[in-house]
Amino acid sequence: MGWTVSDAGFDKNQMITNGNKYMTGNGYMGFRGTLEEFGKDQLAAVTLAGLYDQVQDQWREPVNAPNGLFTLLSCNGQRLSVLDTVPLDHKQELDIRSAVHRRVTVYSIPEGGELAYTAERFASMDQLHLLASRQSVRATADCRIMIETGIDSEVWDINGPHLHNRQELFKAGVLLSSAITGELKLPVVAGELSVFGFGRQQQNTAGALRRITFDAKAGETYEWFKYVSVYSGLDTADDPEALAIRAVLEAAEQGYAGLLQAHRRVWEERWSRSDCIIAGDEAAQFALRYSMYQLMIIAPTVSERVSIPARGLSGQVYKGAVFWDTEMFMLPFFLHSDPGVARNLMMYRIHTLDGARRKAAEYGYLGAFYAWESQDSGDDACTLFNVNDVFTGRPMRTYFRDKQVHISADVVHGIWQYLLFTGDDSLILDGGAEVIWECARFFYSYAYYNPLKERYEILDVTGPDEYHERVNNNAFTNALVKETLEIALRCAELLQSRYPDACRKLCAQFAGGPFLNEFQAMLERLYIPQPDPDTLIIEQFDRYFKLEEVGLPELKSRVINLNEYWGGGNGLATTTRILKQADVVLMLNLFKSAFTKEVKQANWEFYEPRTEHGSSLSPCIYALAAADIGSPDWGYPYFMRTATVDLTGKSKQYVGDLYIGGTHPAANGGAWMAAVLGFAGVQFDGETVRLNPSLPEHWRSIELPAALRGGHYRLRISRNEVTVTAAEGNCEALAFAGFGGAAELCGPGDQLHLQAAGTAAVPE
């Protein structure tokens, strides 16, 4: 399989799945994996990162730009499109090594013969505002061909329209489609330049299209190039039309080959910092690389004011909102491979702190209550009625917005992980400390002090298991609140010891200081659910064990409508022990050093058969936990399920009657976590890298790069041996430990071997 995903033949039933599967992007925009002749009805979309719009009282969502790669062919007066004509042959493929999409479609020609149409495209990783395409036709018989190409301004919107006052212009040989968003009145401009060496060009005055008509000779190849640029008012205070024109003219001057070469160089560098090489499992190798590819095409490499939405840049699904997925499931990949992107992700949370403050104040609390569904301002896009009852059609009240308070703790966890992995204190000085303290203040004001039990409790919350809303003392939430308080105190110590002036300035911003004494008092008496001394099981929340004990097959047999929601006030799972996704098991994975192997195994075995995996976030956690307890082959199927979710399209597409399709970047990140943090056993606490491999039976080894504390290392991990090599840029010693041994690495080229006693490395 190598580096290419491909499909032969065209199936209309797979159009939406393939739109996700064949995604390209560069962090500024995502281009769905649709074909050149597709339009809004086939969900063609150029989704822009960080640009949102709202129409009246509908859900606010990201803006799709006009599609400048639109192309439609006709031959001898007959339209050639997979939507209208059954092709003789069709192949769609994506090279994930260089993020290049390609299709080859062969049609029969009216009056005899065949015509092959080839189109290749990429979203430039070198010039983020640019799309480029190389297209060609070749016929086996003389024929007359018409090419309609240009900009399709009829964009796909779920809750639109978002683009108004559309103008289609022709300037300096460049087609332009410009419009203004409705809410913020920001311009959105697409520019297109096609370069032909044949035919007669005619501009279509009815829109932003060109028509080329020519007589094709049998056996000759006719090739042309398209250069497309996209700009919005978020990018510049200057004239975006002028920028779009200049960008495509300069692209044409550089030429397709030069643009592609520069694009590939950036991708080579990205892969050099991230590629994981698995020996012994080609299917897992490709699935893992594909997962990393999906993360890299949506990573904000330049802007610190955008993050990664729950469905990436695959369209407007999930409102283009940023969830807890980013910190818990995607951040680890970037911490190990691209700390610059990791910093941008955390700076996004700092920039949206005021939105979190507004939400806390709205509910009557102190500090910062982060949005469950965050967009550009940090205000919560999550509504009170997220799901419709499939039986009545009525909106169902849900408590995602109100009660998933762990989101603020997830943000703090992410910020502190960044500090531990990079040693970069600047994030704390640039607003990270303020976020940490404001989140801790929120939990201090949210907590309930139980005078009878003399302890603080976290009541009326929803944990990761969303099928059970408004529960008390959710184990995951309480553990994350505890960590938030600890980090708040450690942050104060760090500032006081290293940056006393900054510490005094920051403390002065809070009435009475950052509540450090209150944090300490709450921390000392915060209730954290503990393992039962007999069973070792941690109760997911108060009275969870009182719920109905029913097997998952039995509960599924009660389903009346395949799309009915299992949670909420009267969902199938609400009164049972069946949970949506990993909850306690996720907590055990985050704080694995605090629990014995016996506790982790007992909880894995208890909760696994009760987990429906109704979220794509769930399987990877069971893979991680299985590796941690020394049973990687238990976890391997969960890893593969996670890593292939966008390749197979086998995921939940509806909640109630709400479409929730699109790509799954959290699952992509989870696949990487399962492979590297789980099976390879790589763990870093800011001081020591601990390596505890737990490889699946057929994996001989895994090799990967890692960026830690400003240094770059290459790890080769087999069942019985670890080799670590220090690369360029290493300036301080870093400790590595595994198989009972430990050593430090510092200078470039330094190497160490850690080997299990009494064993030899497995030969390749």
- Alpha-carbon distances, residue 513 vs 415, 507, 510, 561 (angstroms): 21, 5, 5, 54
Cα torsion 44, 313, 408, 531 to 10°: value is 90
Strand partners, 456: 449, 526
Parallel, antiparallel, or unpaired: how do β-strands 688-691 and 734-738 relate? parallel
- Alpha-carbon distances, residue 177 vs 7, 208, 373 (angstroms): 33, 7, 31
Strand partners, 660: none
- Give dist(CA 338, CA 265) in Å, integer: 16
| Nearest of 296, 307, 284 to residue 333 by alpha carbon | 296
CB 120 within 8 A of CB 30: no
Tokens at residue 722, please?
Answer: 């670890």
| Beta-carbon contacts of residue 449 (< 8 Å; ≥ 6 apart) | 455, 456, 457, 525
- Give dist(CA 667, CA 619) in Å, integer: 8
CB 139 within 8 A of CB 216: yes
- Give dist(CA 619, CA 606) in Å, integer: 15
309-345: b (≥16 Cβ within 10 Å) or e:
bbbbbbbbbbbbbbbbbbbbbbbbbbbbbbbebbbbb
Helix H or strand E segment including 601: helix 597-607
CB 231 within 8 A of CB 71: no
CB 16 within 8 A of CB 43: yes
CB 438 within 8 A of CB 367: yes
- Give dist(CA 365, CA 438) in Å, integer: 11
Is 466 among the residues known to form the active site?
A: yes
- Alpha-carbon distances, residue 418 vs 21, 280, 444, 704, 710 (angstroms): 30, 33, 24, 20, 12
Q: How many other β-carbons are positioned within 10 Å of the β-carbon of residue 58?
A: 11
| Nearest of 190, 184, 186 to residue 207 by alpha carbon | 190
Q: CA torsion sign, 83 to 86 to 88 to 90?
A: positive
SS3 at position 535: coil
Identify the DSSP state of 668. Answer: H
Rg of the chain on CA atoms, in Å: 27
Q: How many other β-carbons are positioned within 10 Å of the β-carbon of residue 758?
A: 6
Q: Which of 36, 434, 466, 564 is catalytic?
A: 466
CB 211 within 8 A of CB 200: no
| Nearest of 377, 314, 398, 401 to residue 53 by alpha carbon | 377
Strand partners, 278: 702
| Beta-carbon contacts of residue 464 (< 8 Å; ≥ 6 apart) | 406, 476, 580, 581, 582, 583, 586, 617
| Beta-carbon contacts of residue 196 (< 8 Å; ≥ 6 apart) | 212, 224
SS3 at position 716: strand
User: Which residue's structure tokens are 């004001």?
Assistant: 445
Parallel, antiparallel, or unpaired: how do β-strands 741-745 and 654-655 relate? unpaired
Q: Which residues are catalytic?
A: 466
